[in-house]
Structure 1
Amino acid sequence: MKNQVLLSIASTLLVVASCKSDVTDEATPTGSTSTSPVETNQPNTTYTPAFAGQTRAAGVRSTTSYESTVLTTALRSPWGITSLPDGRLLITEKAGTMRIATTTGQLGQPITGIPTVNAAGQGGLLGVRVDPAFATNRTIYWVFSESGTDGNLTAVAKGQLSQDEARIEGVTVIYRALPAYRGTAHYGGRIVIDQAGNLLISTGERSDLATRPQAQSLSSGLGKIVRITKEGNPTSGNPLAGQAGARPELYTYGHRNPQGLALHPVTGDLWQSEHGPRGGDELNHIQPGANYGWPTITYGLEYSGSRVGDGIQQREGLQQPVYYWDPVVSPSGMTFYSSDRIPEWKNNLFIGSLSGMHIARLVIENNRVVGEERLLAAESQRFRDVTQGIDGALYAITDEGRLYRIDKR
C-alpha cells in the first residue's frame, strides 16, 4: 500500500514494514535550505568548530517525490552490499555468509566456501566489492575479522564465485592488518576499488586504550586506510612508504573506527566516515598521506564523559574533519549518488546511520557540507550500508535484516 506523507526538516516520515511510502513537497523549491539544522538535541561538548558549517549544517529537504520499499526482511545482520553487473545485489551477513538478492527482494541460498569469521562483538563478514571485470573473472573481494593465535585482526580475502553461485572458489587471504589483538571491537571493514584498480580498505584501532595509540603509529596497520593491489601487495607510490619504519601499504592514518568509504563520481576523490566516541563522528575528505588525528584531536568525549587525552580539537599537521556530528549518528556504509533519476540528489552523499536510525543525505559543495537531510527516520532501523544500484536506485540494508529500495516515485 502507499501512504502520502510530508517531508519535514528534521526527518523524512515513511511508513514501516513491507509497504511503500511516497514523499513529496510541491511548495519547496529545489535546493532550498532552512536555517534550522536537522539535529535538535544538545551536543555532548561545548567544543568550538574549526570553521562555519563543520557541524549542524542547515537542513535541506528533497522536493522530488520518491518512495522507499522494503524488499525483504529475511536477511540476518547484513553488513555490506554491492551490485553485480547484472543488477542483482551481493550482500554479506555478519555471521559469515553471502547472499545474492534480486532488486525485487528474492534471496538466494547462503554462499559457501568463505573462511570462518570471528563474529563476536563488532566482528564478522564485513565490506564487499566485486572486481570491475567480474563478468569474466567472477572475482569478489571482502573484509572480515579473522582469529589467530595472537588474537583477532581485520583481514581481506578474494575468491571466485562459482558458475552456479553456490560457493566461493580459490579463496586467498591477501592482507592482514597487523598486529592482531585479543579484542572484538573497531575492525573498520569497508573496501572500495579505485579508478586504477587498487583496493582501499579501512581498519579500526581496535577500541581499547592499549591499542588506541597505534592509530598514530606508522608501523601498525590499525586505525588506517590502506591501499593494496588485487594481489595484496602495497600499491606502488603509496604516500608513506618512504618514511622510516612505515608500513608500505598505508594511505592515511589517525582513524578510530572507519566504517564508511566512497569515491566521488566526478573527482574520484576518496571520502570516509568514522565513529567517534561520545560525540565526534566524522566525515573526512581523504588526502594521501594525511594524519586524521585520532586520538590526539577529537570533537568527542570518552564514554565516561571525560575528555579524550588533552581534550584538544586542533593541532597543526592534523587534518580537520569536513563535518562532524555531536551527538553521534554512528555513520556506517555510504555512497555518492550519480544517477539522473533524482537530479537534486546528484553527487550528494548518502550515509547509513546506526544509532541515528536514518540515512543521512549530505549536500556537498567545494568539499564542504552545505546541507543535511534525514531520510527514513521513521523506520526505526539501524542502517548499516547503502549503495547505488545499476538501475540508479539506492539500496540500503539494516542490522534488523531489511533490504530497502529508494527511488523516484
Structure 2
Amino acid sequence: MLKTSRLFPLLGFALITLHSCTSSGSSASTTDANAQTVAQTSVQEVALSETQLEKARTNYASYCSGCHGEQMEAFTDRKWKHGNTAENLFAAIKHGYPEEGMPAFEQAFTDQEITALVAYIQEGIQNVKQYDFSAEATASAVYTSESLSYRLDTMATGMEIPWGMAFLPNGDMLITDRNGAFYRLPKGSRQLQKIAGAPEVLAQGQGGLLDVALHPDFAKNNLIYLSYSAFKKEGDQTLSTTAVMRAKLDSNKLTDQKVIFEAQPWARTRHHYGSRLEFGRDGLLYVSVGDRGQHHENAQTIERAPGKVHRIKDDGAIPADNPFVNEKGAIASIWTIGNRNIQGMTIHPSTGAIWTNEHGPRGGDEVNIAEKSKNYGWPVISYGINYNGTVLTELTKKEGMEQPLWYWVPSIAPSGMAFVTGGRYKGWEGDLLVGSLRFQFLSKLKMDGEKIVSEEKLLKNIGRVRDVKMGPDGYIYVAVESPGTIYRVVPVE
C-alpha cells in the first residue's frame, strides 16, 4: 500500500483525465490502437514494493506532473474519458492520445514501469476519496508571507473550472466556467447568477468557455468579449479553434452576438488554445492563441494563426500598423510569433506594456512582454524538453529570438496573471502575481522596475490556480479549480 500524506485536488488537462468529455475528434488510428491494446493486454493491479513505489513516484514526478500536478496523491475522483481500469490507464500511458494532448510514453517506459505507474495512479484515485476539499476548510487558514499575513474570503462556489474573471464598473464580477456556463456575481452577494446567450463551446480537453474582457468604453456601450473553443463538423471529424465573440450585456443575457476572430486553420486537437484577452491602452484587443499542439507547423510561420499573439480592433478589423499586414500570405492580425501556449496576460500599470506568461513543455515556462513583430522562439529555442524526456531542441538562445524575462524549470504550468496595485498589500506593491496549475500555488514575482528579481510562493496547496485579478475594491481575487471557487485575499493586521 502507498504511504500517503494529505491529498490535494488535481485537475489535468487533456491527458488521461478528460473531464466530462466524449471522444469525438480523436484520430481513428490512435483510438483503434488503444482499443486493441485494452482488449489484448491483461494488466494486473499490483501491490508495489518500496523500491517500485519510489520508482513510480519518480517517474510520475519527472514525466507526468507537469500536466497533472506535482503529487500523484493529488489525483481527484473524476470522470475519466478513456476509463480508469488498469488496462485503460496502461493503454493511455503507452500509446497516448496525441490529438487530446496526451503523448505516448512507450519509448520512455518499459511495460513493467508502466504497470507500476498504473498501480500508483489507481492507489491515488482510491485514497483521494477520504479527504474533504471544501472551500470552507481552505478559507479557515491564516497565511503568512515574507511581508504580511492574510486570509481568504470565499466569494463564490459551485463552478466546475472558473477560467476567467472581469469586473463591471458597479463592482459585479463576470466569471467564465470552462464547461460553457457564464456567470455574474453581484457585488456584495455570494450567489452566482447565470447569464444567457454565451457561445456554444467544445468543452473537451483544454477547450471550453475561456476568457472574458470588457470593452474600454463598457460604461457607454455594454460590450463584452468572450474567448472560447469554437467547433465545426468536417466530414466525420470535429474541428476546433480559438474564437472571440463580442456581445452586449443586457442584465443577465447577451445580445447582438458577433464572432470577430477565429484562428485559422481549424484543428482536430483539443489543447493549447491559449485564449487570454486584454485591451491595451491603444484601445485594441490582444488575443493569445496557443500552437494547438502542432508547434512545428504553426508557431514560426506568419501564414498560420496558432502560436501567436494577435491584435485586432474592437470589431475584429485589422489595425493598419500591425507588423505583417502587408506581407503576402500572412495572417494580418498577428502581433508576435513563436509562442507555445499563453494562458496569462495583463497590462503593466505604469508602462502599459502587454505582459504574458506561457507554458513550456517539461520546463521552460516563461514570462515575456508581447512586443510588435517579436519572435519568442518556440519551438526553435526553449529551456524545456519533451514530455517523454527526449530533447526538444539543443538551443536556449538564438539571434533574432527573444529571451524570457523569467522562466521556470521545472514547469509550474502558469495561468492568469496580474500586477498588484493600490496600497492594501504592504510590501507587495508592483509585484507580479501568476497562478500555478501544476504546483497549486500563487507565485508572487518581486519586481525591480521592469526586472523580476525573485519569487515567493503564496497559498501553497490551495488547488489549481486558474486566474488572478485585482478588483476595483483593491483586493486580489483568485479563481481555483476543484472545487471551483473564487477567493478574495484579505490582509490580516
How many residues in Structure 1 have an aligned counterpart in Structure 2? 353
CA contact (8 A) 1:213 1:295 kept: no
Structure 1 position 326, deviation (Å): 1.0
Residue of structure 2 equivalent to 1:228: 312
The match for 1:288 among 372, 382, 402 is: 372
Establish whether residue 22 from structure 1 lines up as the match of residue 142 from structure 2: yes
| C-alpha distance 103-278 of structure 1, shift in aligned 2 (>3 A) | farther
What are the residue-to-residue correspondences of 1:314-333 with 2, within 5 Å? 314-333=397-416
| C-alpha distance 148-348 of structure 1, shift in aligned 2 (>3 A) | same
Residue of structure 2 equivalent to 1:257: 341
SS at match of 1:136: helix
The match for 1:207 among 288, 293, 308 is: 293
What are the residue-to-residue correspondences of 1:215-364 with 2, within 5 Å? 215-308=299-392, 310-364=393-447
The match for 1:160 among 223, 230, 248 is: 248
The match for 1:77 among 154, 158, 161 is: 161
Structure 1, residues 305-332: CA drift from partner, whole Å, max 9, x if none? 0011x32111100111111111111001
1-structure distance, mates of 2:349, 2:179:
32
CA contact (8 A) 1:21 1:69 kept: no
CA contact (8 A) 2:439 2:461 kept: no
Read off the aligned partner of 2:249 and give its amino acid letter: L
2-structure distance, mates of 1:76, 1:306:
34
Q: Whose RCO is larger (CA < 8 A, sep 6+)?
A: 1
SS at match of 1:403: strand
CA contact (8 A) 1:20 1:70 kept: no
Structure 1 position 193, deviation (Å): 0.6
Structure number with higher helix proportion? 2
Larger C-alpha radius of gyration, 1 or 2?
2
The match for 1:185 among 268, 271, 295 is: 271
| C-alpha distance 16-96 of structure 1, shift in aligned 2 (>3 A) | closer
2-structure distance, mates of 1:120, 1:272:
24
Read off the aligned partner of 1:186 and give its amino acid letter: H
CA contact (8 A) 1:200 1:225 kept: yes
1-structure distance, mates of 2:282, 2:450:
22
What are the residue-to-residue correspondences of 1:101-120 with 2, within 5 Å? 101-102=185-186, 104=188, 106-120=190-204
1-structure distance, mates of 2:263, 2:195:
25
Unpaired stretches in structure 2, ≥5 consecutive residues: 1-132
CA contact (8 A) 2:156 2:192 kept: no
Read off the aligned partner of 1:134 and give its amino acid letter: F
Residue of structure 2 equivalent to 1:195: 281
Read off the aligned partner of 1:216 and give its amino acid letter: Q
Structure 1, residues 50-69: CA drift from partner, whole Å, max 9, x if none? xxxxxxxxxxx531232222
Residue of structure 2 equivalent to 1:48: none
Unpaired stretches in structure 1, ≥5 consecutive residues: 1-14, 25-60
Structure 1, residues 123-177: CA drift from partner, whole Å, max 9, x if none? 00001111222223111101000002352100000101113x2x11110000101
Structure 1 position 352, deviation (Å): 1.1
Establish whether residue 399 from structure 1 lines up as the match of residue 481 from structure 2: yes
Residue of structure 2 equivalent to 1:378: 461
Read off the aligned partner of 1:353 and give its amino acid letter: S
- What CA RMSD, in Å, does the superposition of the two structures yield over aligned residues? 1.7
Instruction: State percent identity of aligned pairs.
Output: 37
**TM-score normalised by the chain length of structure 2:** 0.69
CA contact (8 A) 2:143 2:459 kept: no
1-structure distance, mates of 2:181, 2:423:
33
CA contact (8 A) 2:245 2:261 kept: yes
Residue of structure 1 equivalent to 2:112: none
Establish whether residue 134 from structure 1 lines up as the match of residue 254 from structure 2: no
CA contact (8 A) 1:253 1:292 kept: yes
Structure 1, residues 73-122: CA drift from partner, whole Å, max 9, x if none? 31221110111111121100111121112455523332111121001110
CA contact (8 A) 2:422 2:474 kept: yes
